[in-house]
Structure 1
Amino acid sequence: MDLNIKDRTDLLTGAGNGIGEACAHAFANEGCRVVVTDVSAEAAERVAAEINAAGGLALGIQMDVCCKESVRFGVARVEKEWGTIDVLFNNAGFSRDNAVETMTNEQWSTVLDVNLTGQSHCIREVVPGMSRQGFGRIVNMASRAHFGELNKSNYAAAKAGVIGMTKALSLELGPRGITVNAVAPGIIETERVRNLPQFSGMEERALANMPIKRIGRPKEVAAAVLFLSSAHAGFISGETLHISGGRYG
């Protein structure tokens, strides 16, 4: 199936590793101009260099989604070099797990800032250009954690907020030709997840609790993000696509 996304300009946050990196390569393979952003300049530039070396077209930019000025600078640079951003994948994420009674204000606010407020910063910067051209695709990173997970009240609140924001913005931006959707992965085997001390336990729980008896792969999330960014998803907005092996809650 031709996704019909060639030559679009796609900005991805948190694309220096994991799911974001997989999505960056997937967009590049479809002929898109890929803006790889990450809080780590080194990571963003590495992924962009890999795409360019493979014959794609990518730009690596250091961007801190928590900082409005950083986001504004990054978007302005892209618009100057490549024009209006057609697709935004709000992928940057961060977790600081703790029991509610011992969770610090910093742990709460940082997780909300990165996972929810940071997405809003990016959306507010790209929407004017998308509105002028009458087209845009926004895909926000949620998580199966929005159902609630132990010692993750901050993260669950942020991801539930992402889903609410996605629904509200689909109403607001739909008349301008902009769709807004979210993806909600379950356990995905990224390098960060593999390095967790409890990774082997995650695999056991996946086999016990999930209808599809394995952990997900970054490329499977990338496939969903590409679809929601494509011409085939033009009548889909305000939705959250769970990529969680059939497990809900």
Structure 2
Amino acid sequence: MPTSTSHAQRVLITGGSHGIGAAIVARCREDGYEPVILDREGDQAIHCDLADPDSTAAALDRAIASGPITRLVNNVGAVFPHSVEDQTLQEFDAAVALNLRSALQCTQALLPGMRNAGFGRIVSMSSRAALGKEHRAAYAATKAGLIGLTRVLALEEGEHGVTANAVGPGPIATDLFRNANPTDSPKTQAIIDTAPVQRMGTPDDVAHAVSYLLDARCGFVTGQTLYVCGGLTAGRADV
């Protein structure tokens, strides 16, 4: 449940206007939090380009102008699907900026308030692709980077009452997944057929996991990656 102090009721969510982010926003409202959304679009968002440090900094200043925010969901991301051979450096840099650098920048902006409150929850959206997936060179590298960042945060911030965890979605039925995995592709069907639960995941499945990690009672879970993947990582996840 949310803590009783008013500033602890707010949760910053990047990329919260569509897909998994929108489901997280809806779940946060159900849980009693006030979502603060950073996104390029959306009627309720503070508009910014999270791939641009200056635009992100200005949005973060607006977000914390009325007080600290002690919960953060680093959700924004893009895929840039290519093999290692075909991945351009421009795409790779874009993936780092959006998927990884923005998470560090948002975390740095909110950490002082979390430390002062003696409480914080940081959840970063990784991916099952962090374990390796063909044609995901930039995406897999940045999502694995989020796991590394999460583990370092857990080590450094635990004494301040701040936990940091990652969520690694598997095949989730979103526009982002469909754009990178066409529904008529045999590889896409093979993913579904391989899942022990024999179905695609939903954004609500991911939002439920995030809700658990944001909870004030979830104070003894930190530095972990929770795969929401229908069992696809069972016996395969080393990180």
1:138 paired residue number: 122
Q: TM-score, normalised by structure 2?
A: 0.90
1:11 paired residue number: 12
Native 8 Å contact 1:39 1:64 kept in 2: yes
- What are the residue-to-residue correspondences of 1:1-249 with 2, within 5 Å? 3-4=1-2, 8-40=9-41, 43=42, 45=43, 48=44, 60-81=45-66, 83-194=67-178, 198-201=182-185, 204-248=189-233
Native 8 Å contact 1:211 1:245 kept in 2: yes
Identity of aligned pairs, percent? 35
The number of aligned residues is 230
1:242–1:5 CA distance, 2 compared to 1 (3 A): farther
Return the letter of the residue paired with 1:231.
Answer: A
Return the letter of the residue paired with 2:59.
Answer: G
Q: TM-score, normalised by structure 1?
A: 0.86
Residue 198 of structure 1: SS of its match in structure 2? Answer: coil
Query: Per-residue deviation at 1:5?
Result: 5.4
Native 8 Å contact 1:5 1:30 kept in 2: no
1:230–1:17 CA distance, 2 compared to 1 (3 A): same
Native 8 Å contact 2:39 2:47 kept in 1: yes
CA distance in 2, matches of 1:182, 1:67: 23
Native 8 Å contact 1:116 1:158 kept in 2: yes
Query: Per-residue deviation at 1:133?
Result: 1.2
Q: Which has the higher helix share?
A: 1
Native 8 Å contact 1:65 1:122 kept in 2: no
Residue 138 of structure 1: SS of its match in structure 2? Answer: strand
Residue by residue over 1:51-95, the C-alpha shift from the partner in whole angstroms, topping out at 9 and shown as x without a partner, is xxxxxxxxx2012222222222222222223x2102100000011
1:159–1:213 CA distance, 2 compared to 1 (3 A): same
Return the letter of the residue paired with 2:128.
Answer: R
Query: Per-residue deviation at 1:99?
Result: 2.1
Query: Per-residue deviation at 1:165?
Result: 0.8
CA distance in 2, matches of 1:130, 1:166: 16
CA distance in 1, matches of 2:177, 2:215: 29
Residue by residue over 1:207-226, the C-alpha shift from the partner in whole angstroms, topping out at 9 and shown as x without a partner, is 32111100000001001001
Runs (5+) with no aligned partner, structure 2: none
Query: Per-residue deviation at 1:194?
Result: 4.2
Native 8 Å contact 1:203 1:215 kept in 2: no
Output the aligned Cα RMSD.
1.8
Query: Per-residue deviation at 1:154?
Result: 1.2
Native 8 Å contact 2:14 2:75 kept in 1: yes
Native 8 Å contact 1:71 1:125 kept in 2: no
